[in-house]
Amino acid sequence: MRNSETLKIYADGDREVVMTRVFDAPRDLVFDAMTKPALVQRWLLGPPGWTMPVCEIDLRVGGSFRYVWRKDGTDMGMSGVYREIVRPERLVHTERFDEPWYPGDAVATSTFVEKDGQTWFTGRVLYASREARDGVLKSGMESGVRASYDRLEDLFGSSGGGSRRETR
């Protein structure tokens, strides 16, 4: 069974978006699926029809990542720098789109808490302004996040999409 119903997305304070979700997998597997390129390319795709031809991750403090998504011949790229890595508990990184649709860099903080074999994920994204944050919330990003997190859960086998060994 998918844990889609556990996804919550909401504004916090003046500039932050918070996303929470429960995944039916231990946190070390969820952490790996969010930091290993071969796995990220399988789930971080947003709504149907997108692919990720570029996924580069240098997982170290000061290291960078680069994602390029493609749909119907159009590319959308994003990159960032890792500020903090505490495996498998916490990740902090910046993010900026190649063609920014909101001003400034955002800072994303992901935390992973394991309870009874499930991972309680919290992603907090701090934007440069309230206007940037509100623009992201109004963009329809929730449907893309939901589709991506459902694919991620499928990697763990809870919906018949694979086995936990696939994420190792």
Domain definitions of the chain by residue range: 4-160
Nearest to 120 by CA among 6, 16, 1, 5: 6
Mean pLDDT in residue range 131-142:
91
Percent share of the chain, pLDDT over 90: 80
Nearest to 22 by CA among 147, 148, 164, 118: 118
Cα–Cα dist 76/30, whole Å? 25
Nearest to 167 by CA among 35, 51, 69, 22: 35
Q: Which two tokens stand for residue 5?
A: 């119903």
State the pLDDT confidence band at 2, using cuts at 50, 70 and 90: low
Mean pLDDT in residue range 101-108:
89
CATH superfamily label, 4-160: START domain (3.30.530.20)
